[in-house]
Amino acid sequence: MADPPTSSTGTIGVSELRRDVSVWGSYMWGYADVGADIYVALGIVALAALGFTPLAFLAAGLVYAMVGLCYAELASAYPVAGGGQYFALRGLGDLWGFVAGSALLLDYTIDIALFTVIAFGYFNFFLPFAEGLTIHIGPTHVHWFWLLETLAGILVLVWMNVRGIKVSSAFNNFLGVIAIIGQAIIVIAGFSLVWDPGLVVSNFTAFPATFGDFALGSSLAIISFVGLESISQVAQETRRPATIIPRTSIGLILSVLLFALSFSILAAGMFHLGPGVKNGFYGHSGDPVAWIAQHIPVIGVVAAPLTALIGGVIVFISANSGVVSASRLTYSMSQFKLLPLWFNKVSKKYSTPTRTIVVFSGVAIIQTLIAFFTPGGSATSNGAIELLTDLYAFGATTGYLIVFVSLITLRFKDPYTPRPYHMPLNFPLTYRGTIIQFPVLGVFGLVGVAITWFEVILTHPLGRIAGPAWVVLCGLLYMLYRRRQSLPAAGNVPRDWEAAQKRVLQEAEEYESLEAYEAALAERDGVLAAQP
């Protein structure tokens, strides 16, 4: 197939991405990204928030729930690849669409690098000799075997995603089911056999977190909920997105909240969560779920290998989700002239955006090399991993902040597009003769994400430097590209959004929404024609 036609107005042509993602596949794309994060975040949150660890997860979880409802509305109304970048483009214009896209792209490439590294760290539980396979390069101990495993893992992800969304989605579905079952076993066994509610109360009263510690803990806890964007990234390949996306988003919110809060409350009832060495996770921030499993009676004998396997599996499918999301995001950005059209190329054989998959997985490979070659002793204890973790939170909160602004703006700017799902708590108001449903919960979500963003900036010294630096660097490249293309650097390319929306609904086979949209536009045009 040829590249999608792009008119002089910058609107997209017919989509070449196959709609192969089912309701379960849509859910698993989100769970693949979000469900893995508890394996990374639980220990570092407990060391920061101390006895308030469950509250830190609850605070982050409430923000996450509002983010999920926001994405459920926007992705079902605008079912195209691009996610938050597309929503910002529609609501705020080209420049903010690019800023949102660059922040989310930072998230996705780090997702690929960080989670593939961690996945093989779990898998190496079964290869104890791997720990000793190192070479000395200057002051750095490079785990060359682990590095080769990680690079091979990224290449496998590239191969699967080039082959097509069906292959990648089937991989997510199979391994995701195993991961969910394993997590459920650990939680049920832990609460049944070892959990002590009195210890939860004791931790809360004896080891309260200071305001600064709680801010750090809750900003780290948001890492446990990064990944909701994945569902909207595959919206253009989802069957009947207006029906499927709200259901899968709400299901994802509930299931991930359940596991995150369960693990944090379970931890508070199993270990003392005091400062420093008094904390049960001291020295075990890298394998917190395995540490919990090892202390559960009856299943403790097999808990370590079981948790290592489950941890490796679910973290690896999170890395896979990062490949998909990065490729779909840049595919969308190239269609709207936010990136060169070179990225718009779709494989003739597999109908997948091969170039974006290869290029941005390559960026993840570079990040992986930085992680292993940065002085510090290993890929999981050096400054590079800390930097990647900080940037993971920065990219997510920056993107989510812009998406909430876009949601509120689009309620006013585009009231005619049918919204199969609305965020709860709206009140009607009249704006330029049109009744607008103002999103009260959207404002609360915006405030919640803004608070989390400031927590990330204030409490993460690496993130507050490298994160903005990434966005600024991408912005300079964007300005250069637009200037060479004789396009407005800070302005917008004129686009026929109404024609594009009709085409999107037609391709998605959302005929009821299409009819409602055309009727709303006709009513608007009739009112305008009747005005003197």
8 domain-assigned: no
- Domain housing 205: 23-395+462-530
Mean of pLDDT values over 124-146: 75
Whether 157 and 260 have beta carbons less than 8 Å apart is answered as no
3-state secondary structure of 140: strand
> What is the share, in percent, of the chain residues with pLDDT greater than 90?
24
Structure tokens at 239: 């069957």
Please report which confidence band the pLDDT of residue 99 belongs to, taking 50, 70 and 90 as the band edges.
very high
pLDDT score for 277: 81
Residue 309 lies inside a defined structural domain of this protein: yes
* Separation between Cα atoms, residue 86 and residue 326, nearest integer Å: 13
Instruction: Give the least confident one: 45-59, 260-274, 441-455, 507-521.
Output: 507-521
**H helix intervals, 336-421:** 354-373, 383-413
> Band of the pLDDT at 251, cuts 50, 70, 90?
confident
Q: Read off the pLDDT of residues 392-403 as tens digits, 9 standing for 90 and up.
A: 888 888 989 999
Contact criterion met (CB below 8 Å) for 187 and 259 = yes
Residue 332 corresponds to which tokens in the numbers above?
């969308």
Q: Are residues 238 and 18 in contact, defined by beta-carbon separation less than 8 angstroms?
A: no
Q: Are 261 and 55 spatial neighbours (Cβ–Cβ below 8 Å)?
A: no
- Give the model confidence (pLDDT) of 275-321 as tens digits: 888 888 887 766 788 788 888 887 777 777 877 787 788 788 778 87
| Pair 320, 111: CB distance under 8 Å | no
Evaluate whether residue 427 is within a structural domain.
Answer: no
pLDDT on residue 11? 45
pLDDT for position 409: 95
Q: What would the pLDDT profile of 459-490 be if each residue is shown by its tens digit?
A: 877 778 888 998 999 999 999 999 999 998 88
pLDDT, one tens digit per residue, over 173-200 is 666 677 788 888 889 989 999 999 999 9
Pick the residue with more confidence: 99 or 23? 99
Q: Is residue 140 part of a domain?
A: yes
The amino acid at residue 448 is: G
The answer on pLDDT for 507 being more than 70 is yes
Report d(CA 488, CA 97) in Å as an integer.
Answer: 14
pLDDT of residue 201 exceeding 90: yes
pLDDT of residue 6: 43
- What is the share, in percent, of the chain residues with pLDDT greater than 70? 84
Question: Cα–Cα distance between 412 and 264 in angstroms, integer?
Answer: 40
Query: CA–CA separation, 471 vs 474, rounded Å?
Result: 5
CB count within 10 Å of CB 398 equals 26
Does any domain span residue 411?
no
- The answer to whether the predicted template modeling score (pTM) of the entire model surpasses 0.85 is no
Residue 32 token pair: 């693949």
Answer with the residue of higher pLDDT: 341 or 270: 270
User: Residue 135: enclosing H or E segment and its boundaries?
Assistant: strand 135-137
**What are the phi and psi torsion angles at 137 (to 5°)?**
-125, 100
Given this model, what pLDDT does residue 13 score? 44
The answer to whether residue 382 scores a pLDDT higher than 50 is no
Predicted pLDDT at 15: 45
* CATH at residue 323: 1.20.1740.10
The DSSP bridge pattern shows strands 140-142 and 135-137 to be antiparallel
The total domain count for the chain is 1
Pair 394, 463: CB distance under 8 Å: yes
Q: What is the mean pLDDT of residues 114-143?
A: 77
Q: Is residue 429 part of a domain?
A: no
**Position 1 in a domain:** no
- Within-domain flag for 494: yes
Nearest Cα neighbor of 318 from 93, 473, 133, 113 is 113
CB-count burial class (<10 Å; 0-12, 13-18, 19+) for 6: middle
The b/e string for 227-252 (b: 16+ C-beta within 10 A; e otherwise) is bbbbbbbbbbbbebbbebbbebbebb
